[in-house]
Amino acid sequence: MENGREMKEEKEIMMEQTTATENIQADDLHEGEGMHPNDWIDEKSFVEEDLTLAQQNVDYSSFGKKEFVNLLKEIATANDFKKAEEIIREIKPMFDSIRNHERAEALARFRLDGGIEEDFDYKGDEWDGAFDIYVRSIRENKQRYFREIEEQKAANLFTKNSLLEKLRELADGEDTEHSFKAFKEIQKEWKAVGQVPQNEVKALWANYNALVDRYYDQRSIYFELKELDRKKNLELKKELVAKAGQLLSTENIGLAVKELNELHHEFRHIGPVPLEEKEAVWQQFKAASDALYVRRDALVTEVLKELQSNLAEKEKINLEVAAFAEFTTDRIKDWNQKTKEILELQKRWESIGGVPRAHTREVNRKFWNAFKTFFHNKNIFFKKLDVERNANLQLKTELVKKAVALKDSQDWNSAAAELKSLQQQWKQIGTVPEKHREKIFEQFKTACDFFFEQKRSQMSQAEREQYDNLSKKESIISELNKMADTGVGTSAQIKELQSQFIGLGFVPKQAVNAIRQKYTDSLSKAIAALPLSKNEKDEVAFGVQLAGFKQSHQGDKKIHLKEQHLRKQIAKAENDVAVLRNNLEFFGRSKNAEKMKEEFGIRIKEADDALLVLKKQLKMLRASS
């Protein structure tokens, strides 16, 4: 009876162990006996979604095609297909965006070259091909990997079914001295077999548990071996309890949780322990596990707090960088200053750790969109600037050609004026590309300097002649002043001095106006001092004026204009005389006729005299032409 009761207890313990194992694997909630599902947060979710966020949260927004290909090359050698697929899902839209942008640019160039879109065939570059090859390779490896897993599961199912057959034969066979050893060997092999298809798990464990029950119900010997086995199992479980306790001192909490799960896996596969020790050893194991998870929860809380703090910092930077996306200016200095500022923001951004995964994509999108928009706008500005600078280079090249053509000219005044005009145009044209700036300026400057150096060399002699002419003109003015002061002189002498004055060449530019005014004043005074009547003096003055016209620049034009002016004056004077005579006849019939006749007679005589002077001047003008 005692032996039968122990066998019954043994059976109950075994049933509890196997039932717990069945529930754990079938429901995939937890991996320890009596553990609450909340105590068994999936180790992957902790390692991959919490702790690694701060360390592995990679921002791919700034990657180029080469970096994306190198990233795929790196992950293609690993078997972490879940991580690889996550990375592919995240980076493929970014890579495709770059590839589509390059294709659009290539199509635009194809059209500009006269191509038709239907004929356009874009093959991409080496990075496009490499990227597609790696993505296809990773996914093919993934499919092959999981296909092999399924095949292995099917093989494992076959193995477990084979073990069930052996267990069934053992349970239904006779109890011998070797049966318990065979039973333990089957248990060991059962434990060593890997996963099976999920839909077969419950049935396998149900059959296994039923056969174990049948075995224990039918066995009648080797109870001592069973007790020894339970004690051995107890020792093994205590060792696992000790190992679980040691994990509390492990710095890498993610690794500690992973090792703890492996300990739970071993714990549940160890056979039954003495019934009176079962609860105690389990509670010890559970207490060590709970302590580790308390530490994990505290670390998770701290990590999440840090991630939230990082998120707040990055959102502040996003508010700052958003203004850069709207920035525009036509000054290079301002673009360069803003570039320094946004690069400083980038340094601050990259110095901040990870953020909660749920916010990673959005917060990164805001920053890098603004960042890329700024540099896109800057690129447009400098491309436009390059176009303008190349146009300016063309304009300045034309000015250089003109300057070179003028540099040997000896038409000093005309060439100098034209070169000065070219210099003004040069100043008004904007900058040229940096690599051409110094060279083209040197070409223009050399041509201008050569001309003006030649001009200065020539002008040194011309200046001496101008000062000599000034001295001679001052001597003539002195002669005229002497005639004006003494009243001794003739109109012929005045005309001779006038001819000498006009015949002299240029004087220094700064003395032109002054010497001309002195000459005009002296000439007028000399004529006024002649011992002649007023009409005679006017006639001399007019003659002097005509002589001046004839010897001056554009003299024919001046004479012509003077003739036109005299004709208008004569016409007006004749009209005035006619009006006066007509009025004289009208007033002749009035009461005060005599007085009016006298007044009008005087006015008519004055008008006739003036008309005679004008006609005489016109006659002199015609005679001189």
Give residue-wise pLDDT tens across range 429-458.
Answer: 888 888 888 998 999 899 899 888 887 777
Mutual orientation of helices 223-246 and 179-192 as an angle, nearest 10°? Answer: 30
More confident residue, 230 or 424: 424
44, 280 contact by CB (below 8 A): no
Encode pLDDT of 291-340 as tens digits. Answer: 888 888 888 888 888 898 998 998 999 898 899 889 988 888 899 998 99
pLDDT at 51 over 90: no
Encode pLDDT of 486-525 as tens digits. Answer: 888 887 888 888 788 877 888 888 888 888 888 888 878 8
Task: Select from 410, 432, 451 the last residue of a domain.
Answer: 451
Query: Which residues are CB-neighbours of 365 under 8 A, at least 6 positions away?
Result: 61
**Distance (Å, whole) CA 43 – CA 32:** 14
pLDDT of residue 386: 85
Residue 576 located in a structural domain: yes
Q: Helix, strand or coil for residue 506?
A: coil
pLDDT at 550 over 60: no
**Distance (Å, whole) CA 321 – CA 367:** 7
**Distance (Å, whole) CA 317 – CA 319:** 5
Task: Select from 176, 195, 227 the last residue of a domain.
Answer: 176
Residue 465 located in a structural domain: no
Residue 99 located in a structural domain: yes
Backbone angle region of 114, left / alpha / beta, with phi > 0 → left and psi within -120 to 50 → alpha: left
Tell me the pTM: 0.40
Residue 269 located in a structural domain: no
**Distance (Å, whole) CA 615 – CA 622:** 11
The structure tokens listed for 337 are: 């200053």
The rounded Cα 140 to chain-centroid distance in angstroms is 39
Q: How many domains does the chain have?
A: 3
pLDDT at 561 over 80: no
Q: Helix, strand or coil for residue 114?
A: coil
pLDDT of residue 6: 43
pLDDT of residue 158: 92
pLDDT at 22 over 80: no
pLDDT at 405 over 70: yes
Residue 63 located in a structural domain: yes
Query: Which residues are CB-neighbours of 133 under 8 A, at least 6 positions away?
Result: none
Residue 126 located in a structural domain: yes
Give the whole-number percent of the chain exceeding pLDDT 70: 74
Which domain covers residue 68, as residue numbers? Answer: 59-176
- DSSP label at residue 113: T
pLDDT at 79 over 80: no
**Model confidence band, residue 369 (pLDDT cutoffs 50, 70, 90):** very high
**Model confidence band, residue 37 (pLDDT cutoffs 50, 70, 90):** very low
**Distance (Å, whole) CA 368 – CA 349:** 10
Identify the weakest region by mean pLDDT among 260-274, 413-427, 608-622.
608-622
pLDDT at 613 over 70: no
pLDDT at 345 over 60: yes
Per-range mean pLDDT, top range of 9-13, 47-51, 439-443: 439-443
**Distance (Å, whole) CA 377 – CA 380:** 5
Residue 107 located in a structural domain: yes
More confident residue, 1 or 216: 216
pLDDT of residue 149: 86
**Model confidence band, residue 553 (pLDDT cutoffs 50, 70, 90):** low
Task: Select from 176, 200, 233 the last residue of a domain.
Answer: 176
Residue 469 located in a structural domain: no
Q: What is the mean pLDDT of the chain?
A: 78
**Distance (Å, whole) CA 469 – CA 472:** 5
More confident residue, 246 or 31: 246
